[in-house]
Amino acid sequence: MSGEPDVAFIFDTDALAQILMAQQQNLLNILRQDFGVGCFIMMEVEVELRSKPKFSGLIKPALEKALKSGWIKLLTASDLEQLACLQGQGPVTLADIRALGAEYALYVQRGEAYTHAAAVLLGSPAISNDLNAIRVLESNGKALPPTVLRSFDMFAFLHLEEYLDVKSVEQIRTILMSYSEWIPAPMRTSSFVQGLAGWDCRLSTSLATSASASGWAENFYLKRKTQRPSQNADGS
Amino acid sequence: MSLRTVIDGAGLTLSACASTIGVDHELFQQWADGKREMPPAYATVMAALLGVKPEALMAKPMAQARKSGIDEPSAIWFKLRGHEFGDADRESILLVRHLGHNANQLEKSVAGQANRSWSILFKDVLENIDLQASPQSQGRQAARAFCGLTQFGGGGRGSSEILRGNLRSRGILIIESPIPHSQMEGCSFLVGESTQERPCIFVNTFKSTWFRRNVVIMHELAHALFDQNAGVEIDIVANDERHSNLRKDELTEARAESFARECLLPAKLILSFCSQNGVRPNKLTAQSLAGLVAFSGVEKKTVVEILRHNEFIDDVLATQYQSLDISTELREQSDRALGTKEFIEKVGLDVAASWLNKRFTTISSRKILLPVTYVKSVLEAVKTFKISIGKAAELLMVDIDTFYSRFPEVVSEVTE
């Protein structure tokens, strides 16, 4: 994909850590190239990722690679200008996000506080696995992003879109389970594919990129910008 | 000029600061050298720890901060640079200051604002002081005003059992934690962001008794009350006469000691004890002296000094009382005198274990023991969805895995 993204995904620490631990950082590139998704993190998330004592040997090099390749970016003032335009929102500044983030940080960790704050102000999906933090923000009357996706929404979506085969998704599940990471309940006792049948993936494709209007736990739709991998393979 | 200079000026190390706020050391070093911008969320925390304005720690305005002097660390760090203090002292105080910042955060998330009722109490007490009176008299006047405004000394009982809860309910932070081989016995200083400061009293529990610590807490409270402008007072263990006399000569020390004694064991309380137990102050046995210590919650040495000061006894009797070994009698009369092993044997492992190993911080190699009330407040905030589990771990200064293993019942209550 060339040019500007159609939508921004703002990643929280726990969700991005899972993608990096599973060595699936190239998924961020697929999202950008084939679905017009710009993947962003806040500075606070970068600090948390670099400071995770557990698995830092896995996470740090993968993060470096993703940042260096431009598959994921630290959200800057110039990104904000572009994103505000494409979301049809008024101008959003880093100062706005920092002010709201500081407010959210009274209730949840810094990374998720600034992630949700950015996603709320930009009207973008946040990618976070921490349901408890979302419930806490909700119970304190704080606004939430239009959609909150989880790392497994990415894995499942890219599996259904044929970027990750059965072996790859099963490997992701096995790796994350071995690190005692969160995985969806239906996948804890069965395989990724079997578990997927009993789990609602919140990410799918449609004719246009859009969010469901009814709440943060509803589906988000991405518009494919390229052909499916299988179609490419067929030469069609 | 850089964050590194501010940290060096405080006598701290980069690695201690990085550990205390849970940040990768390499990244922190880049912040310290101005190679990368420190995110504001972290600048706020570091500023509260060092006692500087957050803007002083942002990379770009550093030069301006130097000109305006807002990059100079707070008074506590100047005091702690003294040769009598070591890294253990400084790193423990760093953690305590972090706790002060966290306590403010907890109160803001639960109650909407930090508890500042201490400032009203302090103001009311200070209004009752004749500043031209002797230091001892000022201490006593303050103690009487303080006891009148709180429940101290009520019902003819000692106040030691209620003092921690009472002070904490007014927003005063009290931390009792061991710093082995430190000369610091106690100190008081302001913690929190400059607009939301609160007094913090730190007491070193290493080789100290609960009875001694009650005196130290009230002594440090007097410093917090009278010596707010100094920003910090540190008391070191007076283990030789020369040192002891040097400290006692100082006005502030005399006033603080007088305040502590009058709050914890005023003459009327001694008479009340004697009347209730049919004993006379000048006829105390090991048993009855232990009874007075248990009743007041004040260590024997100070009790005897108070008896002497009030002229209930003469110097000869004071020396005789000081030489009495009351340890066995005291253990029989107060659970507070029991060692950990004896206490567990008495109350049972289940009761004793409820807080065992659940209050130490793990974020850095240096650890402090958090107050039970603080840990309870954090857990209650989690259970009522006021804060997230991740935030709770941050406030308790432990990693998330430690939180899960220490408090599984809380986690299961709020997660699916």
The answer to whether residues B107 and B149 belong to one domain is yes
Asked if the structure places residue B117 within a domain, the reply is yes
Provide, as residue numbers in chain A, all residues whose Cβ is less than 8 Å from the Cβ of B111. none
In a domain, B46, yes or no: yes
Which residue is closest to A184 within chain B, CA to CA? B416
CB contact under 8 Å between A132 and B414, yes or no, is: yes
Q: In what order do the strands lie in the sheet with A210-211?
A: A203-206, A220-223, A210-211
Sort strands B184-191 and B198-204 into parallel, antiparallel or unpaired: antiparallel
A188: Cα within 13 Å, side-chain hemisphere: 7
pLDDT in tens, B329-376: 999 999 999 887 787 788 777 766 777 788 999 988 888 889 888 999
The interface predicted TM-score (ipTM) is 0.91
CATH number at residue B50: 1.10.260
Range of the domain at B28: 3-73
Q: Is residue A83 part of a domain?
A: yes
Instruction: For residue B207, give Cα distances in angstroms to A225, B184, B329, B344, B357.
Output: 70, 12, 20, 19, 19
Facing residues of A205 across strands? A222
Edge-first strand order for the sheet with B198-204 is B173-177, B198-204, B184-191, B232-236
User: Which tokens hold the place of B45?
Assistant: 């925390």
CB distance B387–A136 less than 8 Å? yes
pTM above 0.90, yes or no: no
A residues 57-96 lying closer than 8 A (beta carbon) to B:
none
The answer to whether residue B409 sits within a structural domain is yes
Q: Is the domain of B250 the same as that of B103?
A: yes
Q: B385 to chain A: which residues are within 8 Å by CB?
A: 135-136, 139-140
Model confidence pLDDT, tens digit, residues A179-198? 999 999 999 999 999 999 99
Tell me which residue in B388, B394, B399 faces A132 most closely, judged by beta carbons: B388
| Of B24, B108, B399, Cβ closest to residue A106 | B108
Domain check: are B260 and B165 in the same one? Answer: yes
Which pair of tokens denotes residue A31?
Answer: 């999202």
| A91 inside domain | yes
Domains of chain A: total: 1
CATH of the domain at A125: 3.40.50.1010
DSSP A83: H
Domain-ending residue, one of B304, B337, B370: B337
Looking at the fold, whether B260 and B271 belong to one and the same domain comes out as no
| A160 located within any domain | no
Residue B344 in domain? no
Confirm whether B343 is domain-assigned.
Answer: no
* B237 and B99 part of one domain: yes
DSSP code for B360: B
Residue entry with tokens 């429940």: B151
Query: Is residue A158 one of the residues assigned to a domain?
Result: no
Chain-chain contact of A114 with B41 (C-beta, under 8 angstroms): yes
Domain membership of residue B313 (yes or no) is: yes
Please indicate whether, in this complex, the C-beta atoms of A132 and B22 are within 8 angstroms of each other.
Answer: no
Residue B285 lies in a domain: yes
Nearest-by-Cβ selection for A132 from B22, B41, B389: B389
Domain final residue pick, B73, B94, B123 = B73
Q: Is residue A118 classed exposed, middle or buried when 0-12, 13-18 and 19+ CB atoms within 10 A define those classes?
A: buried
Same domain, B222 and B329: no
Number of independent structural domains in chain B: 4
Region B150-176: mean pLDDT is 86
pLDDT digit string, tens, across residues B41-99 = 999 999 989 888 887 787 554 555 555 555 677 777 777 877 788 888 888 888 888 98
Q: HSE-up of B403 (CA within 13 Å, CB side)?
A: 21
Query: What is the extent of the structural domain holding A94?
Result: 7-151
Q: Do residues B190 and B197 touch, judged by C-beta distance below 8 A? A: yes
Cβ-defined contact of A139 to B386 (cutoff 8 Å): yes
Quick one: closest CA in A to B40, which residue?
A98
Distance of alpha carbon A30 from alpha carbon A164, whole angstroms: 11
Q: Please check whether residues B106 and B237 belong to one and the same domain.
A: yes
Evaluate whether residue B385 is within a structural domain: yes
Q: Does A106 touch chain B (CB under 8 A)?
A: yes
